[in-house]
């Protein structure tokens, strides 16, 4: 009783989700790549985010901004992945740290000399600054949309974006004006070069 109605509703929801998936998967994978700096992890994070959306699809599809919600899920998953990686690096550093005798295995900031491009500089930013600059400049989101994705105020988006651009300029060199930083971040989105 009511089985055909439920089946029709389930089919409609599945078709609607499939359309959402096709329209936004690549964008979510690019966002994950820019936030984590890991191309291999990007597809996994986008897939995990879409799986989470599918489980909540009845609520998500009725949301005011389902794409913003999806971006927020990707941002949260990326944040979790980054935190896990940082914890793992700390464990490894503690393992290899000299224990009194100085065995020569300690490594201080092995990535500093490798920061030569925008993606490397993006990885050096704290998550919130990186997320703000990526969403604002690479994805051309408004300050309001960025605040919705990250769950922070518009004022925080403005200040974090400004500070992130200044930090990118510092990391990339004094001759890198803000316009070049914007172009370089946007090029990361499209896979092109400056």
The span from the CA of 23 to the CA of 95, in Å, is 45
* φ, ψ dihedrals at 24, nearest 5°: -125, -5
Model pLDDT for residues 100-124, shown as the tens digit of each residue: 444 444 445 443 333 346 778 888 8
Tell if the pTM clears 0.85, that is, is over it: no
Q: Is the pLDDT higher at 50 or at 86?
A: 50
Residue pointed to by tokens 């913003």: 68
**What percentage of the chain has pLDDT greater than the value 90?**
41
Q: Is the pLDDT higher at 163 or at 102?
A: 163
Report residue 169's pLDDT band, with 50, 70 and 90 as the boundaries. confident
Which tokens sit at 25? Answer: 């998967």
Candidate from 28-32, 80-84, 128-132 with smallest mean pLDDT: 80-84
Q: Which of 116, 134, 121, 146 is nearest to 186 (CA)?
A: 134
The span from the CA of 19 to the CA of 67, in Å, is 12
The span from the CA of 9 to the CA of 5, in Å, is 6
Q: What is the pLDDT of residue 193?
A: 45
> Is-contact 122 36, C-beta < 8 A?
no
Tell me the mean pLDDT in the region 159-171. Answer: 91
Residue 188 clears pLDDT 90, i.e. is over it = no
Helix (H, G, I), strand (E, B), or coil: what is residue 56?
A: coil
Domains and CATH numbers, the chain: 1-108 (no CATH), 111-194 (1.10.10.10)
Model pLDDT for residues 61-93, shown as the tens digit of each residue: 888 889 999 999 999 999 998 888 877 776 666
């Amino acid at each position: 009783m009511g089985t055909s109605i439920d089946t029709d509703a389930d089919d409609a929801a599945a078709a609607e989700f499939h359309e959402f998936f096709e329209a936004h998967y690549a964008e979510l994978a690019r966002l994950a790549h820019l936030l984590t700096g890991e191309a291999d992890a990007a597809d996994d994070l986008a897939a995990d985010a879409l799986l989470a959306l599918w489980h909540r699809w009845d609520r998500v599809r009725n949301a005011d901004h389902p794409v913003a919600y999806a971006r927020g899920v990707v941002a949260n998953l990326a944040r979790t992945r980054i935190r896990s990686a940082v914890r793992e690096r700390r464990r490894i550093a503690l393992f290899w740290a000299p224990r009194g005798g100085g065995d020569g295995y300690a490594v201080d900031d092995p990535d500093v000399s490798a920061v030569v491009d925008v993606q490397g500089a993006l990885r050096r930013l704290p998550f919130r600054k990186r997320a703000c600059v990526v969403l604002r400049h690479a994805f051309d989101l408004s300050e309001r949309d960025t605040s919705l994705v990250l769950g922070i105020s518009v004022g925080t988006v403005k200040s974090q974006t400004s500070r992130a651009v200044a930090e990118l300029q510092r990391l990339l060199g004094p001759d890198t004006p803000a316009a070049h930083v914007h172009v370089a971040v946007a090029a990361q989105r499209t896979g092109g070069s400056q």
